[in-house]
Amino acid sequence: MLRRATLLCLTLVTSAGCNMLKGPPRDHECRSTLRQIIGLQNAYFSERKKYSIHPVEIGWAPSQGNRYLYLFASEGPLTRRDELVSPPLAESVGYGPDTRKRGVLLEDLLIKFPPELMTQLGIEGTCPECNVTLGCIGNVDDDAELDVWTISTKDRPEAARGTPVHHLKDL
């Protein structure tokens, strides 16, 4: 009986890369958040026949302690998560990491977002015949490597619409 319980515990701890004792993988934050944002974008589109590059318009803000910089467009002001001044929420096109908790500056991540991916962010086309692509970047383990994801409302060579794509892996 003890052997079966131990085997079950080991299976739970290692299944799907999730350690039940420590919680989900750290890159889970970005992947799940991008899925949440795309869901909000799709709901917004179904009501207004357009997407938004402003998080506040779709009713989204990151939870406290977020590790990632979330980008809704390639250009525009970003809401900070530190003591420095942020733009009005209606003008913001993204949110920085929680600097107070994580010690990572928005600017440090922004300059490292791959340029070839940055140009894909935002709204493409004229709505209602349009799509939106969003991205996030973070450093989940305090080394030089970064974690970069994107998600889009259009099908892409790497994934179907609504599926996050992992471009750079930090872990």
76 closest CA partner among 97, 52, 41: 52
142 closest CA partner among 102, 99, 91: 102
What is the pLDDT, as a whole number, of residue 25?
58
Q: 131 - beta bridge partners?
A: 124
Structure tokens belonging to residue 102:
């994580």
CA geometry: angle 108, 112, 118, nearest 5 deg = 125
Query: Mean pLDDT in each 10-residue stretch from start to end of the chain (171 residues)?
Result: 42 40 64 97 98 98 93 97 93 94 90 96 97 94 86 96 89 60
What is the pLDDT, as a whole number, of residue 102?
82
CA distance 162 to 127: 18
What is the pLDDT, as a whole number, of residue 101?
86
Domain ranges of the chain: 25-168
